[in-house]
Amino acid sequence: MAVDLAVEARERGIQYFLISFVDLFGTLRAKLAPASAITGMSKDGAGFAASPAGST
């Protein structure tokens, strides 16, 4: 059963979520996201994007 994180945040008084993943090198990557943005992040992703090597 899917959980609506925005509803859970509102009901529990949660203000922020820690969104994280482990990259290909085994390093934990994370960002703190406000609860007001969690619906969009769960739909569109959290924006973990590294710039390609050699780009400026």
Quick: pLDDT tens for 5-32: 899 999 999 999 998 888 889 999 888 9
How do the domains of the chain map onto residue ranges? 5-44
Question: Is residue 46 scored above 80 in pLDDT?
Answer: no
pLDDT at 39: 85
d(CA 40, CA 55): 28
**Where does the pLDDT of residue 45 fall: very low under 50, low under 70, confident under 90, or very high at 90 and above?**
confident
d(CA 28, CA 54): 23
If you write DSSP's letter for every residue of 11-45 in order, what string do you get? HHT--EEEEEEE-TTS-EEEEEEEGGGHHHHHHH-
